[in-house]
Each structure stands twice: as structure tokens, then as C-alpha cells.
Amino acid sequence: MFVYKTYKTKRFFPVAAVTLAVLNIAALLLTRLVPRFADFFSDNVYPFWVKTVGFVVGFLPFSLWEALIAAFILAVIIFIIFHIVKKRFPKGKTWYRLLTALLAVLLVFNIFCGVNYYREPFSAQIGLTTDKYTKEQLLSVIDILTVGLEDSEPTATDNNDLPTLAVLAMSNLSDKYAVLRTNYPKPKPILTARYTMSPFLVCGIYSALTAEANYNNDMPQSDKPFTICHELSHLSGFMQEEEANFIAFLACAESDDPRFRRSGYIRAVVYALNAYSTVATAEEYDLAAAKLPASVQEEIAEVNDYWKPFRNTKPAKVSSAVNDTYLKVNGQSEGERSYGRMVDLLIAYYI
């Protein structure tokens, strides 16, 4: 009996690893090869994860994702030290256990995040059609966004209420667009963001494992409302970055809080001006940018000053390359450039 149990124990992790590998491959193939599978899954299965795991984790006063990452790093350090002290190289069963755990996490990601990259876009579901736009149309949108900035206020230094207001903004937007209706757990600030996010130019991150929207608590205030809404939009099942940006803009623009409106319009006008700089002369660009209120120009400068020390560093370049590859693997052929595709949606929305 003892030998039989030992044999079963030895077989469990190899069998589990193979099973999880097969399930991961099956999830990838179903998503990419079976028409409408992603839509069915996103509409009928994914919401259960957010409404259960997200609901429970939402009660925690801290980011479970951040805690798990810290625990993982600590476990790796202990694992290495233990085997160095014992002068033992990890045995096969140890590697099978680690592989099984890794494949289990990967399966959760593939099911509750990866699938959503292939669903019908939010823009298509609300009837927006993007097409090539003219320089004049882009300038018109910049003017509209500039006017929107006039009815806004700078984000206060005390931002403790931003997560609650972001949930309210997303919930209110879901009243207008039913496809966004879901449970929105309270977003969590990453307390170590200055050292774990900013060096990698990361403003926020959606954790599929814990169904959490996390944001960089160290970055300038004007970036926070938009970023929080961006991460919350992933919880509604829309993973493509330009879609998340557009949803975040709508949530901010239609918020009752002038700080949210300001954050949304600032991010949108920056994206639009960046696009305009590629088709306009230097004089035309300067003229458009000069129309922005002085206080807005100051906030944009503050944001640029914050991120400047982190740009063009090795961590930033590695992070950008990894994120670009990650997006391309998940069906966003333009990689990091897809964030700026929000401009296409803005023009379709306004023009």
C-alpha cells in the first residue's frame, strides 16, 4: 500500500503538468480558431471570475497581486539559499511541482485574460467604425478636447478617493453601455511603485490571477484617474489597449468629478497631439499645443519631468520590448503603438 501511494504521488505532478499544458494549448487554439468562442466565453464565463474572485479580493485593503509577487520573490530567495546550504541540486519532483504551479498560473491568465483579446471590440459593439482620417479631422478633435479641458480642475494632492470615484465613473458609463456592466472591485495602489513600476514605465497593471486593477501610486496625480479607469476597463473584459484607453476616456469625460474629466481630456489630447505631430508642420503643431490652458501645459510638463529620468534606461527598454512582444503575441499586431490607436476611436466618436 505504501509503495502504491508513493507511486501515485510521484506520478501526480508529471500528469498534472502535462494536463495543464494540454489545457493551455486547447485554450489558445479555441480562442484563435473557433469563431465567436472568445465572445461567448467573455460574455458568459469571464464575468463569473470577476464577480467572485474580484468581489472577494476587492475587500482587501491592499493589493493581493503586490503581496503575491513579494511572496514569490521571497520564496525564490529561500529556495536558492536552502539548496545552497544543503548543497543539494533540486530533484526532478521539485521541478515538476514548480512547472505545475507555473502552468496553473498560465492557464488562469490564458482563460481570464488572453481570451478577451479576441472578443468583438467595444468600439464595434457600440457602432463605431474607424477609417483613415485627415489632418483637418484630427485638428478638429484636438480643438474639441481642448474645449473639454476648460471645464476641469487639477487633481488634488490627496487622492484617497480616486479609486472609489473611478468605480463610480465606470459604473455610470455601464448604464449607458450595457456591455460594460460588471462588478468593479476597488482599484489598488501599488505601494512599492516607485521601485517596481516607474523604472519600467508602468502606470498600471491588471492582474487576471486576482481580478484586480492596480495602479502606480507614485506617478503624477493627473495620470491617476485615467490610468485607474483604464485598468478597470480590463475587468469589463476588454483587453486591447486602444479600447481600454478609449473606455477610460469616456468614463473620465462623463464623470461628475472635474478632476476625472481633466485627467481623461489631458491623456486624450496628448495622444491626439502626438498623432498630429506626425502629419503637421512644426509651426502647425506649436499653434495647436499653444491653445491648451496654461495650467494644463504645466501638468503635462510635470508628467514629462516625472518620467524623464526613467526613459531610455535599460529597465525601461527591456520593459518596452517585453510589453511590445506580449501585445503582439496576443493579437495586437502594432504592439505598444496600439495605445495610440485610441486617436482613431476618438475621431470616429466625434467626427
Answer yes or no: do 185 and 306 share one domain: yes
Q: Residue 122: name the closest of 41, 180, 167 by CA.
A: 180
pLDDT for position 2: 44
Section 136-163 average pLDDT: 83
**Residue 204, H or E segment:** strand 204-207
Contacts of 139 (CB under 8 A, 6+ apart): 276, 280, 288
DSSP state of 198: G
Mean pLDDT computed over every residue of the chain: 88
Name the domain boundary from 92, 118, 144. 118
Residue 220 backbone zone (phi > 0: left; psi -120 to 50: alpha; other: beta): beta
The larger pLDDT score, comparing residue 154 to residue 82, is at: 82
Distance CA 63, CA 174 (A): 25
DSSP secondary structure, 290-320, as one string: HTS-HHHHHHHHHHHHHHGGGTTSHHHHHHH
pLDDT in tens, 94-145: 777 888 888 899 999 889 888 999 999 999 999 998 888 899 999 999 999 9
Answer yes or no: do 243 and 325 share one domain: yes
Contacts of 332 (CB under 8 A, 6+ apart): 117, 240, 241, 338
Q: Residue 183: name the closest of 237, 244, 144 by CA.
A: 237
Section 189-217 average pLDDT: 95
Sheet holding 204-207, edge to edge: 188-190, 212-216, 204-207
Distance CA 233, CA 213 (A): 9
pLDDT at residue 7 tops 80: no
Grid coordinates representing 30 are 479555441
Rg (the chain; Cα; Å): 22
Section 65-71 average pLDDT: 94
pLDDT in tens, 330-341: 777 777 777 778
Distance CA 167, CA 260 (A): 12
pLDDT for position 4: 45
Name the domain boundary from 86, 118, 150. 118
Residue 338 CB coordination number (10 Å): 20
Q: Residue 257: name the closest of 233, 208, 224 by CA.
A: 224
The values of phi and psi at residue 30, to 5°, are -60, -40
Answer yes or no: do 254 and 105 share one domain: no
Answer yes or no: do 136 and 89 share one domain: no
Name the domain boundary from 84, 118, 152. 118
Answer yes or no: do 168 and 314 share one domain: yes
Distance CA 117, CA 108 (A): 14
Answer yes or no: do 316 and 220 share one domain: yes
Answer yes or no: do 128 and 270 share one domain: yes
Answer yes or no: do 209 and 283 share one domain: yes
Answer yes or no: do 242 and 325 share one domain: yes
Answer yes or no: do 340 and 213 share one domain: yes
Answer yes or no: do 45 and 112 share one domain: yes
Contacts of 142 (CB under 8 A, 6+ apart): 269, 272, 273, 276, 288, 291
Find how far residue 237's CA is from the centre of its chain: 11
Answer yes or no: do 177 and 80 share one domain: no
DSSP secondary structure, 229-296, as one string: HHHHHHHTT---HHHHHHHHHHHHHT-S-HHHHHHHHHHHHHHHHHHHHTTS-HHHHHHHHHTS-HHH
Q: Each residue of 72-105: b (16+ CB within 10 Å) or e?
A: eeeeeeeeeeeeeeeeeeeeeeeebeebbeebbe
Section 40-54 average pLDDT: 92
Domain count across the chain: 2
Q: How confident is the model at residue 28 (pLDDT cuts 50, 70, 90)?
A: confident
Residue 127 sits in which domain range?
Answer: 122-350
